[in-house]
């Protein structure tokens, strides 16, 4: 899926990344949350044109200090602990190429497939924690279906909200669509034609909220799944520090499913048993993948077991 890489410096990617700007937006976030009658625990914005697909989410995690947040997410290996909670990520691996940290995502259909039947997205990884701001960027020059300039961006600061101290952060996903335009139209006109996003788009004739659909809805659903994976990672780590890695993983996949079920209208795709079964098998494939990356070998995945 991804065949070439380009490393772009964090300082060039986020012009609005300084501490004072983020602090102002953190205050504005909390003020807006207080004004909303039925607020989501995040604020989401998105856009889609023929040249750029982009979505950004802003939120607050209570009880996590920036030092811990940065310490964990400075490590590419930790991204592979939460990104694969997303139902479409089949495995995640990390390695180094010419002193550049690399993270590999294997993206596929919602049902179980092995990584070699998924699309490889190979991203350069950079992270810094300077002057009270944690920043991370994952970037790939090329992606699936001729998409280009795929970027995951994360910025975080210490903050205080109604719930107490924690971390305010912004998480962004963007890409330049390629063939996706035409294929996405087919998908959105058939399988996903009734699916919704999270941003309001006016009201229906009866006065009920109307949400964006189409390309923007798809981008928003994708980003929120990643957001819930990140929040699940920190929530479970704090509450289950003495659990083994495999016990923690089982807690996380159950917790992620619970969290997405809060937005069933937007995010439902699989039953709990289907999702958990897929993720337990995908976890074993991820171990095989990571071992192969460490040994510079070709991974050999187990034969697909169709039984649930």
Contact at 8 Å (CB) between 90 and 84?
yes
Q: DSSP readout, 86-136?
A: STTEEEEEEEEETTEEEEEEEE--SS---GGGSEEEEEEEEEEEETTEEEE
What is the pairing mode between strands 133-142 and 42-48?
A: unpaired
Task: Report how far residue 54's alpha carbon sits from residue 44's, in angstroms, rounded to the nearest whole number.
Answer: 11
20: in domain? yes
Q: Which residue has the tokens 């996380």?
A: 252
Contact at 8 Å (CB) between 65 and 75?
no
Helices (H), the chain: 10-13, 19-35, 66-73, 76-82, 180-189, 214-239, 245-261, 264-267, 272-295
- CATH code of the domain containing 136: 3.30.530.20
4: in domain? no
300: in domain? no
2: in domain? no
pLDDT tens digits for 118-140?
999 999 999 999 999 999 999 99
166: in domain? yes
pLDDT tens digits for 21-36?
999 999 999 999 888 7
pLDDT tens digits for 261-305?
999 999 999 999 999 999 999 999 999 999 999 999 999 987 655
What is the pairing mode between strands 133-142 and 148-161?
A: antiparallel
How many residues appear in the chain? 308
Q: Which of 262, 190, 176, 156 is nearest to 219 (CA)?
A: 176
pLDDT tens digits for 183-235?
444 343 334 456 898 888 777 777 777 788 888 888 999 999 999 999 999 99
308: in domain? no
**How many structural domains is the chain composed of?**
1
At a CB cut-off of 8 Å and minimum separation 6, what does 197 contact? 44, 46, 211, 212, 213, 216, 217, 218, 219, 220, 221, 266
Task: Report how far residue 280's alpha carbon sits from residue 286's, in angstroms, rounded to the nearest whole number.
Answer: 10
pLDDT at 8: 37
Q: Which domain holds residue 131?
A: 10-295
- Model's pTM, two decimal places? 0.87
């Amino acid at each position: 899926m991804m065949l070439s890489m380009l490393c772009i410096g964090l300082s060039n990617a986020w012009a609005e990344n300084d501490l004072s700007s983020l602090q102002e937006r953190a205050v504005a976030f909390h003020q807006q949350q207080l004004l909303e009658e039925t607020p989501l625990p995040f604020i989401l914005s998105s856009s889609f044109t023929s040249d750029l697909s982009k979505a950004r989410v802003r939120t607050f995690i209570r009880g996590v200090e920036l030092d811990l947040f940065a310490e964990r997410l400075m490590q590419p290996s930790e991204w592979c602990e939460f990104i694969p909670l997303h139902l479409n990520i089949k495995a995640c691996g990390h390695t180094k190429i010419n002193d550049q940290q690399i993270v590999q995502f294997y993206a596929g259909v919602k049902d179980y497939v092995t990584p070699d039947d998924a699309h490889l997205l190979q991203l350069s990884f950079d992270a810094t924690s300077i002057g009270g701001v944690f920043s991370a960027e994952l970037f790939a020059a090329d992606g699936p279906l001729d998409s280009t300039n795929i970027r995951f961006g994360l910025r975080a600061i210490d903050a205080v909200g109604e719930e107490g101290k924690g971390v305010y952060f912004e998480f962004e996903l963007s890409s330049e669509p390629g063939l996706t335009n035409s294929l996405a139209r087919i998908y959105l006109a058939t399988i996903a034609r009734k699916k919704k996003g999270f941003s309001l788009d006016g009201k229906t004739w009866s006065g009920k909220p109307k949400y964006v659909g189409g390309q923007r809805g798809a981008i928003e659903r994708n980003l929120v799944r990643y957001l819930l994976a990140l929040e699940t990672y920190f929530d479970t780590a704090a509450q289950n520090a003495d659990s083994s890695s495999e016990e923690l993983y089982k807690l996380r996949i159950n917790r992620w499913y619970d969290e997405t079920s809060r937005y069933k209208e937007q995010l439902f795709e699989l039953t709990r048993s289907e999702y958990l079964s897929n993720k337990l098998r995908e976890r074993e494939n991820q171990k095989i993948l990571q071992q192969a990356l460490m040994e510079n070998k070709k991974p050999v995945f187990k034969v697909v077991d169709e039984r649930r």
